[in-house]
Structure 1
Amino acid sequence: MSAAESTTVMVVDDHPMWRDGVSRDLEAAGFTVVATADSVAAATTRAKATTPQVVLMDMHLPDGNGAEATARVLEAAPGANVLILSASSERDDVLQAVKAGACGYLVKSASAAELIEAVNATAAGQAVFTPGLAGLVLGEYRRMATEPTPAGAEPAPTLTPRELEVLRLVAKGLSAKQIGRRLDVSHRTVENHVQATLRKLQLSNRIELTRYAIENELG
């Protein structure tokens, strides 16, 4: 079974022709489209019912934006990875989506092949961005990293040596399987370290782990 055939996807877009077309492309590539939705409310309900591994999310929906939808979907299905697929490449849209927990951001001018590759990468926990947008996000994180720490802020929690090792590799964009091969452990062990690190640092995804690594010069 290929990676695509083992990956479940939900497509969220309020344009029926686009939503149906993307769903067909994904299914033709071997993905299983377990749900589609045309609004924030429908996406939240269907994510909870189907627990997809990847959610393709539009940024502009009738009852809210993609950032709001991303946050609500991740509350309903915490194991999902959200990839924004939007016509907008506006700075504010990109940053809002990532801060809400999206793993990546792809513009709708991407080809079907680029979309398939991006969904595979998102399912593997990698950050995926249309060229140019990754620099925007990391630039914002670097800017935030230069801001002074608020007075009275609590010290950062202590990570184990192995958690730090995994964090450095996550920040370099390696998938759990790639990290597992490098450290000679199973990808599930890597995921356990990642989840433990996320809990300790009170972060929600690998993008935020990357920001933490940049702030602490761990990359």
Structure 2
Amino acid sequence: MAEITVMVVDDHPIWRTAVSRDLTESGFLVVAEADSVRTARARAMVEPTVVLMDMSLPDGSGTDATRAVLDVSPRSRVLVLSASSERADVLGAVKAGASGYLVKSASAAELVEAVVKTAAGQAVFTPGLAGLVLGEYRKLSVSKVRQSSAPTLTDRETEVLRLVAKGMSAKQIASRLVLSHRTVENHVQATLRKLQLANRVELTRYAIEQGLD
């Protein structure tokens, strides 16, 4: 975990310090803290692996800060950790580029697991919020041009993609479909190539946009 660097963005110093301490004790390297959109943008230049992002900041929203951070450090992955589970906050964060969304009622163990998964490129959501995001994107119309030009996936690739969108790991998918871990990874990589996507986060967003669940 020491290879996973983290920046904690929260305007409450006691909470920010406590989260940083817990992550450090769990083996992560906390390389920066920020209490505003402005400082988050400036300190993101250290290019943390994962950015823990609050949604309420004194000079803007977590959505604003997510965009600012990814503008400076596009390889970072943003995991929202917020007291809010409001629909607008969740969807705003995801549309801004956040990889996942946890509410602050999550346990320390759940937070550690979420940071590890986010660093690995998985989309992580508090139970219930993933369904909200999927439901919203299902409502978005997909243009006929996009549909006609979309690459054709095999039934198995589509099945694997649907499980990736639910946040399942390759090991979990392999168990569910009674396949080997290598076979699942091969399907994922083949799908990434066909769709010309870079990683699992982009793959998850694609699945959401296509209404896969």
TM-score w.r.t. length of structure 2: 0.79
Quote the offset at 1:192 in angstroms: 11
Q: Percent identity?
A: 57
Distance across 1 between alignment mates of 2:77 and 2:193: 14
Q: Which of 5, 26, 30 is 2:27 aligned to?
A: 30
Does the CA contact (< 8 Å) of 1:124 and 1:176 recur in 2? no
Q: State the Cα deviation string for residues 57-97 of structure 1 (Å, max 9, x = none).
A: 00011111011111111111111111000111111101100
Is 2:59 aligned against 1:60?
Answer: no
DSSP 3-state at the match of 2:2: helix
Quote the offset at 1:42 in angstroms: 1.0
Q: Which stretch shifts more, 177-186 or 76-85?
A: 177-186
Distance across 2 between alignment mates of 1:177 and 1:46: 35
Is 2:77 aligned against 1:78?
Answer: no
Question: Which residue is equivalent to 1:100?
Answer: 96
Q: Which stretch shifts more, 52-61 or 128-137?
A: 128-137
Calculate the aligned-residue CA RMSD, in Å. 3.2
Question: Which residue is equivalent to 1:15?
Answer: 12
Is 2:112 aligned against 1:116?
Answer: yes
Is 2:208 aligned against 1:211?
Answer: yes
Quote the offset at 1:55 in angstroms: 0.4
DSSP 3-state at the match of 1:121: helix
| Paired residue type of 1:70 | T
Does the CA contact (< 8 Å) of 1:27 and 1:33 recur in 2? yes
Is 2:83 aligned against 1:87?
Answer: yes
Q: State the Cα deviation string for residues 181-217 of structure 1 (Å, max 9, x = none).
A: 433879xx94994797237xxxx834412214x34x6
TM-score w.r.t. length of structure 1: 0.77
Question: Which residue is equivalent to 1:45?
Answer: 42
Query: Residues 24, 51 of structure 1: CA spacing in aligned structure 2 closer, same or farther, 3 A cutoff?
Result: same
Gaps of 5+ in 2: 174-179
Does the CA contact (< 8 Å) of 2:130 and 2:166 recur in 1? no
Total equivalences in the alignment: 202
| Paired residue type of 2:92 | Q
Distance across 2 between alignment mates of 1:100 and 1:195: 24
| Paired residue type of 2:143 | T
DSSP 3-state at the match of 1:140: helix
Q: Which of 121, 124, 127 is 1:128 aligned to?
A: 124
DSSP 3-state at the match of 2:109: helix
Question: Which residue is equivalent to 1:183?
Answer: 183
DSSP 3-state at the match of 2:167: coil
